[in-house]
């Protein structure tokens, strides 16, 4: 068996640091994590947590935000300053559940936020999910890094701008939101960027991200930054906003000023183009809906015409039968009525006139049916020559983008 066929099993025992100044919380957390088979190291201060993490990076860090010497927010920020700890997931524990506090935790580098008091079962479940999510993200980052190294020569000759040009070309014929999102994510991945994106289509927010791996706080971030201007920075995380789309870059190159400025320009171009394309897709969707409405109206009208035509024939036949029966009855009863010849002729002429009008109404109805039928046929011919639903099916959408 070759190394390529070997798969590292997912460990069931994780090392978790818990820094909190509440002994009762620590005891409950330690018991719950031990019950899951995890190793839990309890610490009473942010500085102790930072020192222990630097000695041996854990699988997860739980940070209370109200520690006296160095709070959880500051501790999280300091953790992120060390390269070896930048990708260690952090869950903040706080009695303050306000949105502003959650966003401050996200800006500090936190990955999840749990409000006190909490159920230990929920904390354990979210701790496990956070660790697994980050392990998957690490695998995606390693794969992306390997791909970038392999394609380094090509990127040197073509340059990052070629990715943007390819993106603009690719979305020019894009007709589906999911396909557009795929192009957005692939282009950012080609630039070495890990992203989340919120696309707003017909009032509905759709969320996409690199590898389908998401941070729980990001939906709140998108809601918060929607009215905060074009660019909003959360340290190494930056959001670019447009009316129809917001793109959150999780790993902006803060330590490379030249590339940082270049990346900001790129994501602005991508966001602007995507925003316009969403308008186009919405317009096309509206046209398809109107087209389908017209098809339904045309079909319903034709069906209604057929029903009316059948009813008209029945009423016409019934009217003619009534008049014919009346004429026969009059002929049989003329002698009994004692009418003069002039009276008889007058009565017969009236009956014949009614019969002629009935036949005239029948002919008029047939002409009306023909004219309405011609109008409907013309409408159907016009609709058949312009079928946006068929055009939309021309695009191949063979790759699924994970929503969160």
**pLDDT tens digits, 209-244:** 887 777 778 888 898 888 888 888 887 889 999 999
pLDDT confidence of residue 93: 93
| Adjacent-strand bridge partners of 17 | 41, 61
Q: Domain 12-149: give its CATH code.
A: 3.40.50.2300
Max avg pLDDT among 194-208, 223-237, 375-389: 194-208
CA angle 240, 202, 242 (to 5 degrees): 15
pLDDT band at residue 143 under the 50/70/90 scheme: low
pLDDT confidence of residue 393: 45
Six token digits for residue 404: 């969160």
For the chain, the structural domain boundaries read: 12-149, 159-285, 287-392
Run of H or E residues at 62: strand 60-64
Judged against a pLDDT cut of 50, whether residue 188 lies above it is answered with yes
CA angle 26, 32, 36 (to 5 degrees): 135
What single-letter DSSP state applies at residue 70?
Answer: S
159-285 is classed CATH 3.40.50.2020:
no
pLDDT band at residue 6 under the 50/70/90 scheme: very low
CA pair distance 48, 42, nearest whole angstrom:
10
Between 249 and 393, residue with greater pLDDT: 249
Over residues 73-98, the mean pLDDT reads 91
pLDDT band at residue 129 under the 50/70/90 scheme: confident
- Share the mean pLDDT of the chain: 80
Over residues 160-168, the mean pLDDT reads 87
Over residues 5-29, the mean pLDDT reads 76
Between 206 and 351, residue with greater pLDDT: 206
pLDDT band at residue 141 under the 50/70/90 scheme: low
pLDDT band at residue 153 under the 50/70/90 scheme: very low
Over residues 27-34, the mean pLDDT reads 92
Judged against a pLDDT cut of 70, whether residue 155 lies above it is answered with no
Burial letters 325-353, b for 16+ CB under 10 A, else e: eebeebeeeeeeeeeeeeeeeebeeeeee
Between 172 and 308, residue with greater pLDDT: 172
**pLDDT tens digits, 54-68:** 999 999 999 999 888
Q: Please, are residues 147 and 127 in contact by the beta-carbon 8 Å criterion?
A: no
Sheet holding 39-43, edge to edge: 39-43, 15-19, 60-64, 90-94, 112-115
Over residues 90-95, the mean pLDDT reads 92
Run of H or E residues at 302: helix 257-337
Q: Please, are residues 250 and 196 in contact by the beta-carbon 8 Å criterion?
A: yes
CA pair distance 16, 9, nearest whole angstrom:
19
* Distance between start and end Cα atoms, the chain: 37
Between 384 and 87, residue with greater pLDDT: 87
**SS3 call for 178:** helix
In this structure, the strands spanning 112-115 and 195-201 are unpaired
pLDDT band at residue 156 under the 50/70/90 scheme: very low
**pLDDT tens digits, 265-295:** 999 999 999 999 999 999 888 888 887 877 7
């Amino acid at each position: 068996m070759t190394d390529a066929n070997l798969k590292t099993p997912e460990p069931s025992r994780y090392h978790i640091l818990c820094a909190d100044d509440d002994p009762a919380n620590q005891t409950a957390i330690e018991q719950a994590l031990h019950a899951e088979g995890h190793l839990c190291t309890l610490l009473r201060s942010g500085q102790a947590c930072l020192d222990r993490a630097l000695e041996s990076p854990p699988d997860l860090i739980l940070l209370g935000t109200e520690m006296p010497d160095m709070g959880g927010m500051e501790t999280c920020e300091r953790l992120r300053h060390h390269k070896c700890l930048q990708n260690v997931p952090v869950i903040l524990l706080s009695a303050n559940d306000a949105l502003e506090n959650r966003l401050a935790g996200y800006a500090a580098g936190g990955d999840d936020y749990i409000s006190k008091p909490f159920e230990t079962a929920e904390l354990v479940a979210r701790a496990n999910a956070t660790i697994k999510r980050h392990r998957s993200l690490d695998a995606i980052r390693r794969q992306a890094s390997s791909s970038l190294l392999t394609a380094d020569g090509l990127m040197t000759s073509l340059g990052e701008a070629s990715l943007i040009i390819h993106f603009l070309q690719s979305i020019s014929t894009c007709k589906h939101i999911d396909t557009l999102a795929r192009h957005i994510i692939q282009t950012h991945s080609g630039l070495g960027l890990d992203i989340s994106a919120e696309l707003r289509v017909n009032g509905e927010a759709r969320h996409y991200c690199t590898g389908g791996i998401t941070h729980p706080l990001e939906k709140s971030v998108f809601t918060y930054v929607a009215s905060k201007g074009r660019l909003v920075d959360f340290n190494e995380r930056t959001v670019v906003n447009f009316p129809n789309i917001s793109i959150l870059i999780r790993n902006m190159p803060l330590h490379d000023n030249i590339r940082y400025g270049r990346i900001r320009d790129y994501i602005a171009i991508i966001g602007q183009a995507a925003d316009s394309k969403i308008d186009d897709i919405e317009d096309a969707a509206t046209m398809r809906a109107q087209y389908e409405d017209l098809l339904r109206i045309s079909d319903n009208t034709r069906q209604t015409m057929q029903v009316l035509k059948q009813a008209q024939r029945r009423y016409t036949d019934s009217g003619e039968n009534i008049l014919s029966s009346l004429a026969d009855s009059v002929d049989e009863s003329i002698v009994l009525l004692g009418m003069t010849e002039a009276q008889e002729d007058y009565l017969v002429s009236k009956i014949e006139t009614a019969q002629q009008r009935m036949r005239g109404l029948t002919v008029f109805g047939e002409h009306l049916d023909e004219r309405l039928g011609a109008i409907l046929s013309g409408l159907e011919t016009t609709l058949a020559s312009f079928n946006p639903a068929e055009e939309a099916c021309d695009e191949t959408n063979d790759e699924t983008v994970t929503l969160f």
